[in-house]
Structures are given as C-alpha cells and as structure tokens.
Chains A and B, each alone.
Chain A
C-alpha cells in the first residue's frame, strides 16, 4: 500500500430543495440506522475514511432581535453538509464516492439543488457535482498527520494480540529486554502480524522537504508582514477592543428538551462528534481578524501541533473551521474523545485563549477582553453558547469507534517499539505502554 503522507478534509455544502427536506431526513435516517453497512451509502466501504458526517443546517429563522438584524436580513435556505476526514489523496476518495455502488450519493444528494438529473448521473457528473459543491476549510486540525486508517486499525489489532499473549504467560522475574524479545518473537512468528516488525512507513523525503519549506516560507512571510503591517494590526486590535466592549452577548440558556435531544446521540462510542454553526460578527475588521486567526491556527496545527498534543489537549482526532454562506457564517466540526462536558472543560481550562482568538468573532460569544482573555473562561456562558450553536448531526461514521486518540497514539508507539535496539531502561519504559 502506498505511503499516506497526510490527511485531508472534504466538505460538501449544498442547498436542499425545500420540498425535499422531509424526504432527505428520512433518507438520512436510513443511513444512520447502519452507518457502516447501509444499502445507500455504506461508509464502511471506504478504506481511507476516518470519520464522516451528514448534517442538515435548517433554514435560518426570521430576524427576532434588533441586534441581529444586520446579520440576517434574508434567511439562508436549508443546506446539507457532508464532512469527511480521509487519507490523501482526496481525489481518490471523491472518485470512490462518485463510483460508490448502489444508490450511493444519488439517494442523498438528489434532494439537493443542482444535482444531476437521473438520466445524466454517472461517475463523471457526480464528481463534477461534488467538486462544484466542495468548499475548502479555513483551518484543519489532524491529531497526528500521516497516520492512515489502515495503520490505526492494524496497530489496534497488534496491541490486542500482544495483550492476549502477555495474559497467557507469567512474566515475573524476567528482564525488560528479555520480555520485549519474547514479544517481538511472538509478533514475528504470527503471520498476520509480521508487518508490525517493520517500522511504520515514513512519508517520502520530497514531502518532508516540502513541509519544511512551507513552514519556513510562511513563517518568514508572516513575520515580515507582521512587521510591515504592524500599524494596521495595532489599529485592528484597537478597533476590536472597542467593539468587543459593546458587542451583544447571548444570554440564552438551552432548554432541557433541546439538551436531552442532543445528548441522546452522545456517549455511545469512545468518541463523540461536535458540529456547530454561528454568524460572524459584521464588519471588515472582524473578517480580517477571523481570517488571520484561522490562518495562524492552521499554520500552528500543521507544523507545530501535529503529533497528538494540541497545547495540552490530547483528545481531539480532527477539527475544522469552514466559512459558509458568503462568509456570513462559520461551521465548526470536530471529533473528540469522552463526554461533551469534558471537551468543554478542556476548552475552558486549557485552550481558552485559542478558542477566544477565533470565536471572539462569532456573534453572541461570551465577552472577551483584548481578544484572547475572558470569553471561554466565563464557564456557564461558554457552555450555553456551545450548546446553543450545536447542530444535530444526522449521520456520523467512525472507522474506529472503540479507540481514543490517546489509545491510537499508544498503539503506534507499541508498534514502533518492536523494531530497533533498546537499552534495558528503554525497554522498561516501552513495556509500560502495554
């Protein structure tokens, strides 16, 4: 199998034919009933697919408050969003989607505007449609860049097999090196695990050089621009500071009914998904601020936080930020481990500053001070904001629903430890991963 260099995001955002909304919901229910193996679009058939979701964004409601009037003069029609996280190349996945057996895409996207009519549906026209409706993400976080679905699944099986092997024997009194050798021998002598004694394939040199060049190039460019434009940046910061003092803050508590509905889909697997949408505050300063913030986030997660640790948070598999509706709104989507309560607590306690940097530009967000302070630290206001903007995701697929990101990283390290030499101390540390 070819080396997977990185992971990519696919976002399809498509207006729904108003009269088809009910039928689409029913179709999505069919898919959700067996997300991996359903007859319409069995997500389990795509070997490069980590996560996928389908969700309906309802038509926006007519204006209710004066403060919101400038944001939503005309309602935005209902849209269907398809979000996938896949191993590169994305093009192969789009083709696979367009070719997928059975009613596939047709059953779902025929409820959307501008989907090819029945007699014109073929791989080419479906692919053209997806390309037409595809929007690129403003920022994309991957827990560990380069680790494929195949590798994740294989290494989970490997760990399980080693655990069972360990359970069958007594290890008391043996040295770490000896124990490790026994494990290696076990793996070597098990034909279906023999791949594991080779280190995981590394991306080719050209890829590494390209990434390094991107890192250095963008860093220098950013620095130069930052210095040259510092008067403008200062001006924007001052404008935002004066705006944030007056910006309206939502004070709506989500109802128990809404919360119980959203919760009914949560905590079934080792991880959960989160989808949310919100208006962006109006004005050019906000749009610049948001674009710069997301560019910084995107740069940071691509080059600095790409090994399982997002400034102290190790529970996020993927996350993306997408401008939609002519940059009037932003869609946020992530896959995270554990409960939403613990996800929100990580935001509030650990990465509050990063959240604020981006979401201070979101309409109704808890009041920030100098862009990055306060905001998410207002625990209750933040939790309400999260729940108020959360969307019900009709269909959600995970390729490895039993694994947390920490588990996956540990499995990877177990496999890595099967090759190469180790001192007794190194072997001791490695064995603690089991």
Chain B
C-alpha cells in the first residue's frame, strides 16, 4: 500500500467538503506573470491540504493548460503534461466524442469555449464556506487582491446552491457511488478500493504503473522543493505532478421542466391523461435510481427510501437482462459494475470497469423548480430561471477515465448491444429502451435534457507543486 502525502494533496481530492454548504468557482486570467507568481505564493498558504478537515472555509486552485503557459513554465516541463489535458475540451474531435454539438457546441458556451484569447481561462479558484455570508466575505477578500495580484476575473462568479437531501435538480439523489481510494481511511478493509494512482498523480495506478506527469530536472531552480520522481529511469528528475491530478469542469444546464414534461408525455395513456406515478417510474428507469437514491436494480417497482444509500449491488446475477435496471439507464452505463465484457458477472468484468472511474466533486447551481425537490411538485411548478450542475470530476488519465465514460459508455447509442440509445439523462437525445417481458418498451425521440454551457480541463497541483509554479521561471 502506498502512503498518501495528505498534507501535500489539495483537500478536494480527499473530500467534497459536504459540511461546507456554500461554494463558488472563480475563473481567472493571468495578466501579469510576475505579480501573478507572487499572488500564487500567497494563495498557496491558504490552500486547504487533504490532512485537514476544514469546518469553516476552504480554498482549492487549478490551472488550465493555457494558464501554465501564461505562467511561463518551461516548454520541456509543459510537454510532460498529458496530451488530452494539453489538447483541451474543444477540438472538433472532442466535440464529437463528448457530444458537444448544436446548442451544446463550444461556440455557444458562456465560458471556456471561445477561441478568443481574451476569454481564455487560466486559473480556476474554488471557494467553499460553511454559509453564504462567510463565502461572500472570503470571496470579496480574494477578489480585492486580484488586481494587485496580476490576475483578473474573466467571467461572473459561478455560484452554487445546496439542495435538500442532497439531490440534483431533476429531483434525484446524486453522488452516491464514488470510488474508494487505497490509503484513505474510508477505504480500509474494502476490497474494491482502487489504487491511488487512478486519481492522484505520482502513485501507482491500476496497471501498477505511474501515469504520465510533468517532470522537472533536479538542477532546475527551486526544483529541490519537489519530490523525487518515482518509476522513471532518470533519478535526477523531480515530480511536478506528484499529489496533483486532472480536474474536468463542465457547466451542465438542466432542462428540468422539459425532462418531466417528456416523461409525462411518454407515459400518458391513450386518451392523453397524464400519470405522475408512471412518469416517476420511467424517470427512475432512465436514471437507474429512484428519487430517494434507491437503485432500481434492488427495488424495481417502487421507491424504497430504506435502500436510498444501498450501493452494494451488481447487475449481472441480479438483472442480466436489464428487466430491473435497463441497459441504457444512466447509472448502468456510467458505472456498469459487472455488466460488460469480458465475462459479465466476473471479477474480470469488474476490473475492466474499474479502469474507468471518476471522482465526482460537482456542485448544483440555480434555484430548484420546487424547493422540496419532490417530483410531483417539480412537475407542477412553473418554469423559470436557469439551473444545473457544475460537474467536476477528478482523474489521473482524462482520456481513459472521464472521456471514456462520456464517449464510450454515455454517448454511444450502441452501448452494450443497444442500437439507438444514448444516455437518456446526459446524452444528446434519442431512444430509451426499457427491457421488459414479453418485449421491450421503446421511447423514441426523447430530446436532450442537459446542455453544456462551459467547461475545461484543469490541473489541480499538489501544494508543493503549486509553490514551485509560483516560483520557477
């Protein structure tokens, strides 16, 4: 087992700060390299490390690739960052792979999508606090230092809200299934814990190897502050990636009204009368969980709040044919457990799926349609305002983890033997097939419910690495 250097790992990797209910994300651009370095040195003192459990406030910081370039990092070091991070989220191929087309195309994004250098995000500052007041104070304080610090905020603050229970806007419990990381207390005694290198650079990954990360010659100025690189032929290299990871940010706007209208429509009886219970049932089948969070695999016919947090289930033995949880359901495809080749139901299948896990750290934004988040009340509510999820996930290998899940599992309409069924929740719209006896029920031409409004790939450095970045030239 590898010992994790918690004091050097940004706290966001270790925990989602569930106790800090207020959060904001600030998008910054470096305007003066020299002053920005000084500012970053100061900020690095405020970054919350993973060995602390903050009870009032927390600060985490990540760089985009253009941000690292703007910081003046040496090209040989820049080249050490993974190619997917360098290429970014908005190439034509990434748009195809991630499903960012039509209204979700980067040219329509509020941030992160424009080719305009003046709008390029360099730094993502993530601010968390116990309440809105403290969050505002902390944010004001930070913003007051931007100008002198050689950075400017280039987009309005991305605010968040805390919904009851904690649900997302469609009305479903979210964030229930997270991978456990070897070396953390939560993972003790859990067989299924994943090697730290899947989520943190500088540790061995699921192949027993080190995911590629930027290395710095030991002779470079300030490099002695960085840890020695493990698993490389050259002992004279220092590891700039150690204790860092890649952070994927996607601002996902949810069409909550559209979602419930569609499932009401799809379940309406022939005379056109709508049935909210049938609609909730279909919606639960699309998600793979009931609103309470109870998996439909375990309770296929009705919600059972007792099972709300029961995450100890697999698909193959219990539901090989998808009669309980349809093959196309959001959670059965974004985390397929033991349901895919090779050998569904086997350890091999579980291991295969485990190579594609992500650590989710997103926050909800916008006021809920109905504060209770009860589906019936959401259905009855009037549509107004904008809401969604600031989706944030952490992974060591963007193409094998986040992009793979998004492209090969979520967006591919031919996932797991299907023909025309993309992910019914986050996909671009299409057919949703409910396996049933004697034959399936297909819902065709479902629209897209989630639009991308912004996004980018970021590097969330270790704290020593952050100090190095603030010093080196």
Contact = CB atoms under 8 A, between A and B. Distances in A.
A166 interface: yes
Contact of A379 (B87, B91, B207, B444): B207
A266 B439 CA distance: 35
Contacts of A260: 87, 91, 93
Interface in A95-147: none
Given A312-B342, A380-B211, A404-B414, A263 B440 contact: no
Given A342-B404, A350-B352, A176 B437 contact: yes
Contact of A167 (B348, B417, B442): B442
A312 B343 contact: yes
Contacts of A338: 408, 412, 414
A339 B438 contact: no
Given A342-B404, A434-B439, A406 B417 contact: yes
A171 interface: yes
B96 interface: yes
A259 B87 contact: yes
A431 B342 contact: no
A337 B414 contact: yes
A341 B86 contact: no
A207 B108 CA distance: 59
Given A179-B438, A350-B352, A434-B439, A167 B444 contact: yes
Interface string A399-434: 000001011001000000000000000011001101
Contacts of A166: 439-440, 442
Nearest to A404: B414
A185 interface: no
A349 interface: yes
A259 B419 CA distance: 29
Interface in B348-400: 348, 351-352, 355, 399-400
Contacts of A270: 414
A246 to B, nearest CB: 15
A171 B438 CA distance: 7
A349 B417 contact: no
Nearest to B342: A312
A263 B93 contact: yes
A267 B97 contact: yes
Given A267-B97, A349-B355, A380-B209, A175 B417 contact: no
Interface in B73-113: 79, 83, 86-87, 91-93, 96-97
A428 B438 contact: yes
A268 B95 CA distance: 12
Contacts of B419: 407
A164 to B, nearest CB: 10
A176 to B, nearest CB: 5
Interface in B264-288: none
Nearest to B92: A264
A263 B91 contact: yes
Given A379-B207, A406-B417, A163 B442 contact: yes
Would you list the 4 A-B pairs with minimal beta carbon distance, nearest first? A312-B342, A263-B93, A179-B438, A342-B408
15 contacts: A176-B437, A179-B438, A253-B79, A259-B87, A267-B96, A267-B407, A338-B414, A341-B399, A342-B404, A349-B351, A350-B342, A406-B417, A407-B417, A427-B438, A428-B438
Interface of A: 163, 166-167, 171, 174-176, 178-179, 253-254, 256, 259-260, 263-264, 266-268, 270, 312-314, 337-339, 341-342, 345, 348-350, 377-380, 404, 406-407, 410, 427-428, 431-432, 434
